[in-house]
Structure 1
Amino acid sequence: MSIALIGGLVGLGIALVDLAFLRLLATRVDLAETKTALNVAGFTQLVLLPVIGYFVAPYVFGD
């Protein structure tokens, strides 16, 4: 398993935890716009963090 793939999987794990936290936080706020913003931020991170982890991990840990 390559370092890049491990970085992508770590990014995915962090994104899933953050998505769960932001969804939980969205249930506790009153404004609909805030709920929408929190959900969009969570799903955006679900895409971006694995991609960032895939490209950054080889630079940090070597290939």
Structure 2
Amino acid sequence: MPLMSLEEAVQPLVPILPAVQDYAYMAKEKCKKPEDGLTQDESASIMLYSMGWEPLEQCL
């Protein structure tokens, strides 16, 4: 079964956290060529999960 893209994965979160699309885009931009054997989406999803969010109560 193919993995869904990061953009597809965050879509259900948009109604409660609209900025998640912007953060996902930034994460993918920083992970264009991951050297860890992961896909760009896999690497960006880890980065998105560990990013600092402002304000803090909007963290994933």
Whether TM exceeds 0.5 here: the answer is: no
Structure with larger Rg: 1
Q: Which interval holds the TM-score relative to the shorter structure?
A: 0.3 to 0.5
**TM-score normalised by the chain length of structure 2:** 0.36
**TM-score normalised by the chain length of structure 1:** 0.35
Higher relative contact order (CA 8 A, sep 6+): 1
